[in-house]
Amino acid sequence: MFGHWEIILVVLAVVLLFGSKKIPELMRGLGSGVKEFRKGIKEGQNPEEKGEVKEEKKKD
């Protein structure tokens, strides 16, 4: 895994690239993206959809 110095170096690089005012905005966007991704995964695992797929296979 990463050591303390590597994490500090990455944080400093992010602050230098984006500035301290942009970081909360970036994290908010990242969080909403992860939330949408998880929501999409849950919708893809809907049991109703699985049942429809099984019915279609039985028809063939």
Q: Please write the tens of the pLDDT for every residue from 11-58.
A: 999 999 988 889 899 889 999 999 999 999 998 887 665 555 556 666
d(CA 22, CA 3): 25
What does the block give as tokens for 2?
């990463």
Domain boundaries, the chain: 20-59
**CA-closest candidate to residue 25, choices 40, 39, 14, 13:** 14
d(CA 44, CA 52): 12
**Whether this model's pTM surpasses 0.75:** no
